[in-house]
Amino acid sequence: MVRVLDRKLLRDLRQIWAQTLAIALVLGCGIMVMVAAYGTQRSLVETQAAYYDRHRFADLFVAATRVPVTRLAELADIDHVAQVDGRISFHAVLDIDGMQAPAVGQVLSLAADAGQGLNVPLLRHGRLPDPDRLDEVALNESFAQAHDLVPGSRFRAVLNGQLRELQVTGWLLSPEFIYTMAPGTIMPDDRRFGLIWMNEAAAAAAMDMQGAVNDIALRLMRGADARAVIAQVDSVLDPFGGTGAHGRDRQTSHAFLDSELTQLDALARFLPPVFLVVAAFLVNMVLGRLIAMERAQIGLMRALGYRRAEIGLHYLKLAGMIGLLGVGLGWGGGLLLREGMLLLYVEFFRFPFLIRDPALGAMGLSGALALAAVLAGAARAVAAAIRLPPAEAMSPPAPPSFGRGRIDRAIAALRLRQTSMMILRSVLRWPGRAAITLLGVSTSVGVLVASYFLFDAIDVVRDRVFQQGNRQHVTLTLARDAPDSVLLDALTLPGVTSVQGGYALPVRLVNGHRSRQTAVIAQFEGAELAQVMDDEQGVITLSDRGLVLPELVARHLRISAGDSVQLDLLVPPRDTLTLPVTAIIRQGMGSEAHIAAPALFAAMRVAPRVNQIHLRIDPQQMPALQARIKSLPTVAGFADWEELRAQFDASLQEGMLTMVMIYTLIGVLIAIGVVYNAARIQLSERSHELASLRVLGFTRAEVGFVLIGEMMLLTLLAVPLGWVMGYAFAQGMVDAISTDVVQLPFVISRRTYALAALVVVGASLAAVLLVRRRLDRVDLVSALKARD
In this prediction, residue 390 carries a pLDDT of 67
pLDDT tens readout for residues 202-219: 999 999 999 999 999 999
Q: Which one, of 84, 92, 85, lies nearest residue 182 by Cα?
A: 92
Q: Are 515 and 638 in contact (CB under 8 A)?
A: no
- Lowest average pLDDT, out of 127-131, 626-630, 746-750, 780-784, goes to 780-784
How far, CA to CA in Å, does 578 sit from each of 564, 591, 608?
A: 7, 19, 19
pLDDT tens readout for residues 551-608: 888 888 999 988 999 988 888 888 889 999 998 988 767 778 999 998 899 888 889 9
First to last CA, the chain: 31
pLDDT at residue 470 tops 50: yes
DSSP state of 465: I
In this prediction, residue 1 carries a pLDDT of 47
Predicted confidence band at 119 (pLDDT cuts at 50, 70, 90)?
very high
> Which residues 6+ apart lie within 8 Å of 205 measured at CB?
134
666-704 burial by CB neighbour count: b if 16+ within 10 A, else e? bbbbbbbbbbbbbbbbbbbbbbeebbbbbeeebeeeebb
pLDDT tens readout for residues 342-399: 888 887 888 999 999 888 888 999 999 999 988 888 887 777 767 766 666 566 655 5
- Lowest average pLDDT, out of 192-201, 505-514, 766-775, goes to 766-775
Phi, psi of 505 (to 5 degrees): -125, 120
Q: Which CATH number fits domain 496-617: 2.40.40, 2.60.40, 3.30.160, 3.40.210?
A: 2.40.40
The Cα 461–Cα 453 span in angstroms is 12
Q: Which one, of 156, 151, 141, lies nearest residue 98 by Cα?
A: 156
> Which residues 6+ apart lie within 8 Å of 156 measured at CB?
94, 95, 163, 164, 165, 166
pLDDT tens readout for residues 279-310: 887 787 777 777 777 767 777 777 777 787 87
In this prediction, residue 410 carries a pLDDT of 58
Coil, strand or helix at 536: coil
As a whole number, the mean pLDDT across the chain is 84
0.85 exceeded by the pTM? no
In this prediction, residue 673 carries a pLDDT of 79
- Average pLDDT for 407-413: 57
Q: Which helix (H) or strand (E) holds 518?
A: strand 514-523
pLDDT at residue 782 tops 60: no
Q: Are 350 and 173 in contact (CB under 8 A)?
A: yes
- Lowest average pLDDT, out of 63-77, 85-99, 770-784, goes to 770-784
Q: Are 12 and 289 in contact (CB under 8 A)?
A: no
pLDDT tens readout for residues 50-89: 999 999 999 999 999 899 999 999 999 999 999 999 999 9
- Average pLDDT for 131-138: 91
332-350 burial by CB neighbour count: b if 16+ within 10 A, else e? ebbbebbeebbeebeebbb
Q: Which one, of 281, 667, 273, lies nearest residue 437 by Cα?
A: 281
| Burial of 782 from C-beta contacts in 10 A (0-12 / 13-18 / 19+) | exposed
In this prediction, residue 788 carries a pLDDT of 45
- Structure-model confidence comparison of residues 754 and 280, the more confident one: 754
pLDDT at residue 756 tops 50: yes
- Average pLDDT for 670-697: 71
In this prediction, residue 267 carries a pLDDT of 76
For the four alpha carbons of 622, 626, 632 and 636, in that order, the dihedral sign comes to: positive
- Average pLDDT for 485-507: 90
Q: Which one, of 350, 342, 351, 46, lies nearest residue 180 by Cα?
A: 350
Q: What is the largest CA-CA distance in the chain?
A: 103
- Structure-model confidence comparison of residues 237 and 742, the more confident one: 237
Q: How do beta strands 635-640 and 474-483 pair?
A: antiparallel
- Average pLDDT for 706-714: 81
In this prediction, residue 634 carries a pLDDT of 84
Q: How do beta strands 136-140 and 60-68 pair?
A: unpaired
Q: Which one, of 137, 169, 176, lies nearest residue 55 by Cα?
A: 176
The Cα 226–Cα 517 span in angstroms is 14
Q: Which one, of 162, 177, 170, 161, lies nearest residue 198 by Cα?
A: 170
pLDDT tens readout for residues 307-325: 878 788 888 888 889 889 9
| Burial of 59 from C-beta contacts in 10 A (0-12 / 13-18 / 19+) | buried
The Cα 107–Cα 91 span in angstroms is 6
In this prediction, residue 657 carries a pLDDT of 67
In this prediction, residue 613 carries a pLDDT of 92
In this prediction, residue 734 carries a pLDDT of 78
235, amino acid identity: S
Q: Which helix (H) or strand (E) holds 133?
A: none
In this prediction, residue 696 carries a pLDDT of 64
- Name the residue ranges covered by the structural domains of the chain: 16-57+249-389, 58-248, 417-469+641-788, 496-617
- Average pLDDT for 333-341: 89
264, amino acid identity: L
Out of 96-105, 207-216, 637-646, the most confident range is 207-216
